Amino acid sequence: MDRHLHREELIALARKPSGSANQHLSECAECREEVELLREFNMAGHARLPDAPAGWVERAAALAQTQHSFEKIRKAVAALVFDSWAAPQPIGVRGQASIGERRLRFEADRFAFDLRAERLPGEWAFVAQVTSDSLPSGNFALSIEKKELTADTAGFYQWTADRPPRRILLRSDDT
């Protein structure tokens, strides 16, 4: 046989035998095997899985449409624009006096973060301030070493710690 049956014809024969194609099946062992296989595993063209409950389908659709909180987060890495330790001190001021105090200023797209650290006996005292042209100062949350800080009435964040923080996270309500 030079002409084999197409896949659609084989599926149709497996579902409902036809007299004209039976002659071909009696002569062609390859097509006959495929039809027998399709009859044995009558899955072609049929979804053998039951439909999911309507509630599950609705919940899956709702999950696909909701915006997850991590999609709302926008990271901005602030650039260090001022470091008091990096600036050379005048000749008469150089020495150990400047080691106990440090001022840093970080800037990102719409805000600036100023930090002052002062070494006290046995601890460090920190004062930070966030300034922004487009956002009010109350819209920020400051997280230092997993500790949440709120600004005082003047807009300053103040805290003390045994050592300077390794990580400072600043969040804004609009991001």
How many residues make up the chain in this entry? 175
User: What pLDDT was estimated at residue 119?
Assistant: 92
| Domains annotated on the chain, with CATH | 1-47 (no CATH), 72-172 (2.60.40)
User: What pLDDT was estimated at residue 15?
Assistant: 79
pLDDT above 80 (res 151): yes
pLDDT above 80 (res 31): yes
pLDDT, tens digit, 9 for 90 and up, residues 57-71? 888 887 777 655 555
Q: For residue 143, with 0-12 CB atoms within 10 Å meaning exposed, 13-18 middle and 19 or more buried, which class applies?
A: middle
For the question of whether the overall pTM of this predicted structure is more than 0.85, the answer is no
Residue type at position 152: D
Question: Tokens for 3?
Answer: 């002409």
pLDDT, tens digit, 9 for 90 and up, residues 78-129? 888 888 888 776 666 655 556 788 999 988 877 888 999 999 999 999 999 9
The residue ranking higher by pLDDT, 12 or 44, is 12
The tally of CA atoms less than 13 A away on the side-chain side of residue 151 is 19
- Cα 32 to chain center, whole Å? 54
